[in-house]
Amino acid sequence: MPGVLTDDPATTRSPARVLARSGAVAVVLTVVLVGGLDLVRLSDSAHHLRRTISEYALGPYRWVFDTGVVLLVLGSLAILAVLVGRGVSRWNSVGAIAFAAWSVGLTLVVVFPKNDWAVGPSMSGSIHRFGSMLAFVSLPIAAMLLARPWVRDAAWGAHARWAFRFGALSALAFTPLLYAILVDAVTGTSWWRVFPLGYVERVLVLTEVVAVFVVGVWACAVSSRPRPVPPGQPGYSPSSTSR
């Protein structure tokens, strides 16, 4: 039927399509692996969830934790590569750089385990904390900035709006940590004692991982359509990406 765009076999098997789907699947596997560790902890006691997720890297389940985070890094980079390769963003845009910074931060989290307080502070723990903060801050910025130019687009507007919403939700989920850091600066109360840090972190991480998955679904959709014309570029119209 004229005017109706359908996937042909070549498009379905295209490298971009495979890469986008692989990225989205990697994100889901991360949730399964790390979520599975939490379920094991819950079967014992919910009190264990007061500890941070990266606590798993200090015990016998480190390989599960590391595998999950590495999958999230690789999935995020695959999703970003598709969005850039298909013209949704540019490599040098702030949104793409922030998405890459999210992956860098997660890589630091894996390479440098958190402090084992039974031993004491360490350089590894300091780098781990920096990597966590880099990832937590970068993802909301990335999701919102990648989405913003496309929120009114006829073809990608729905995907962009969902990505923007989850980016904003991730930023909101980060505010308790900011409050705790402010309390630490003003009163001297250790910021990790202001809230049950493990619970707050899990809400934040889940929100951000879902945001990455939403962007991954967008990348899957983009990979099966003609290369879009970015807003503001010659040839763009609100319906141009749906042709």
The model's pTM: 0.85
The whole-angstrom separation of Cα 126 and Cα 222 is: 39
Helix or strand run (H / E) with residue 110: helix 94-111
Domain residues for 172? 9-227
Assigned domain for 240 exists: no
pLDDT of residue 10: 42
Count: domains in the chain: 1
The whole-angstrom separation of Cα 118 and Cα 105 is: 25
Assigned domain for 60 exists: yes
pLDDT of residue 117: 66
pLDDT of residue 47: 72
Q: What is the pLDDT averaged over residues 183-211? A: 84
At 31, the amino acid letter reads: V
Structure tokens at 112: 């440098």
Assigned domain for 237 exists: no
Instruction: Tell me the per-residue pLDDT of 21-61, one tens digit each, with 9 for 90 and over.
Output: 999 999 999 999 999 999 988 877 667 778 889 989 988 99
Assigned domain for 242 exists: no
Assigned domain for 28 exists: yes
Q: What is the pLDDT averaged over residues 140-167? A: 96
Assigned domain for 147 exists: yes
Assigned domain for 85 exists: yes
Comparing CA positions, the residue from 129, 135, 111, 134 lying closest to residue 62 is 111
Position with higher pLDDT, 225 vs 39: 39
Assigned domain for 190 exists: yes
Residue 229 — pLDDT band, cuts 50, 70, 90?
low
Comparing CA positions, the residue from 29, 125, 114, 23 lying closest to residue 69 is 29
| DSSP 8-class letter at 14 | S
